[in-house]
Amino acid sequence: MLQAARNMRANHLLWGIVRNNNSFLFKQKGHRFSKDPFNLTGKNTLRDNGLVQKKAIGIKTLDPKNSKGVGFHVIKKKVGKECFPAKAVERITFTHCRPKNLRKLRNVICKTKYRRELKMLALRRASAMQKNDVRPKTKETSK
């Protein structure tokens, strides 16, 4: 319990510093947004900010040039590896059909007890990315 209170105070202290000053922050029509790779909603809030939270999840689309299937990458922060940037993130690639990818993503978040409040945000983001990620079909010429 004492450790949780310390972490909460550290998060609030970091949030006070980072809230108005970070490289991912931008304003549009009077609202503040964030382009942080670990931010699922794009809003600049304490819950969604990946710079402040020890556990954060980011979702990115696959590069169409280097991948064969439709899917996405899940990027997770590793706890205790903040001082080692090369080891601080874990990348998981999902390239199966849409329902299977979403089921696997739900299992990654829930079964590992990795910030369950981000479950629905991550599922919505991944679903939207997969829905919009339509590759052009190649036409085969018959001889």
**Among 85, 123, 84, CA closest to 107:** 123
Name residues whose C-beta falls within 8 Å of residue 108's C-beta, 6 or more positions apart in sequence.
74, 76, 92, 114
- Tell me whether residue 138 is in a domain: no
- Tell me whether residue 103 is in a domain: yes
Report the pLDDT averaged over residues 44-72.
84
In angstroms, the CA 61 to CA 69 distance is 11
- Tell me whether residue 36 is in a domain: yes
pLDDT, one tens digit per residue, over 59-68 is 998 877 766 6
Provide the residue range defining the domain that includes 99: 2-132
- Tell me whether residue 23 is in a domain: yes
First to last CA, the chain: 71
pLDDT > 90 in the chain, percent: 34
**Among 74, 81, 85, 79, CA closest to 38:** 74
- Tell me whether residue 137 is in a domain: no
Q: What is the CATH number of the domain that holds 86?
A: 3.30.390.110
Quote the pTM value.
Answer: 0.76
Question: For 64, which DSSP code?
Answer: T
- Tell me whether residue 91 is in a domain: yes
Q: Say how many domains are in the chain.
A: 1
- Tell me whether residue 115 is in a domain: yes
- Tell me whether residue 97 is in a domain: yes
